[in-house]
Amino acid sequence: MAGSSARAAAPILPTVVFVFLLLLPLSAVRHARAQETDSEAEFSYRSGRDNSPDRWGLLRSDWAACYWGRMQSPIRVPGAGRIAGPRNGRLARTYRSSPATLVNRGHDIMVRFDGNAGSLVLDGVSYRLRQMHWHSPSEHALNGSRYDLELHMLHQSDKASNKYAVVAQLFQIGEHRDEILHMLEPFIERITDRRQGHEEEIDYEVDPRRPVRGSDTFYRYTGSFTTPPCTEGIAWAVATKVRHVSRHQVELLRDAVHDHARRNARPLQEANGRGIALYYSWPRSGAGN
């Protein structure tokens, strides 16, 4: 009888294994590591490679969201006149100067705040500002256009380590330079083409209010990190105002990218019917923003 039962149960095992493998990508999407990766050893922005953006989600099981996810970033953001969502959302920024370190992560240049750089309150959730970094060209498209540069200010929830918010500021090359990049230029030059992970302590406190001062209106949507593991559920606030940056500053950031790709922008992702709302900074730009 025991032998008969074992034979009857035997065909079940391949079926179970097949179902497990079928569900593995979806499980990986749900349980992907929340943190953005700090290493570019396994992924690239160059098309036509085994580790190009369209293949990120196939490289590792915990990066599966990059391929299977339905709420990925960046996306095309329509003009304010075409926003169909609520128009009365608010966000509050209380940034302050903080000691910081400049880090060459290979795929971007990051300012890591080593002290309390302030916070963002969005939809009733408080997020602490942790770091900021740049992408060139811009990752999001506003009114159908991708611009020369995009700043991401990454915030982490005070109460839940897996909740994140990103404030994005787009730039176009123009007559005026960006003041915070101007202050950072000597440090960026020092880490250009240094090994991945090289750090330079910044000699003075960095004021995160500078690059977004005067940006009071934002497109709010729910998306993902734009680098592996492409974790979803990220609260995005993309400034409607496009600011100026000098050509030299854009070139400086591009030259500093370790793999010489000179661009570190993920291709646009499908919105898949996601709602986009207009949010307003409160209070309006001032000493606390």
Q: What ranges make up the beta strands (E) of the chain?
A: 76-77, 89-95, 100-104, 109-113, 118-122, 125-135, 141-142, 145-146, 149-157, 164-173, 199-201, 217-224, 232-239, 243-245, 277-281
Is residue 45 in some structural domain? no
Residue whose pair of structure tokens reads 């085994």 in the numeric block: 50
**What pLDDT tens digit does each residue of the chain (289 aa) get?**
444 444 344 444 344 333 333 343 333 333 334 566 655 568 999 888 899 999 999 999 999 999 999 999 999 998 655 565 555 688 999 999 999 999 999 889 999 999 999 999 999 999 999 999 999 999 999 989 999 999 999 999 988 778 999 999 999 999 999 999 999 999 999 888 666 678 999 999 999 999 998 899 999 999 999 999 999 999 999 999 999 999 999 999 998 876 555 789 999 999 999 989 999 987 654 444 6
Assigned domain for 40 exists: no
- Single pTM value for the model: 0.84
- How many structural domains are present in the chain? 1
Residue 174 resides in a domain: yes
Give the pLDDT of residue 162: 83
Instruction: Supply the range of the domain harboring residue 78.
Output: 54-281
16, part of any domain:
no
Residue 37 forms part of a structural domain: no
What pLDDT shows up at residue 191? 87
In-domain check, residue 95: yes
- From 107, 135, 155, 258, the catalytic residue: 107
Domain of 119, CATH number, reads: 3.10.200.10
107 is catalytic: yes
* pLDDT at residue 195 in the model: 64
Question: Is residue 2 included in any domain, yes or no?
Answer: no
Residue 85 in any domain: the answer is: yes
116 near 98, Cβ under 8 Å?
yes
Place of tokens 């492409």: 230
Give dist(CA 28, CA 57) in Å, integer.
Answer: 10
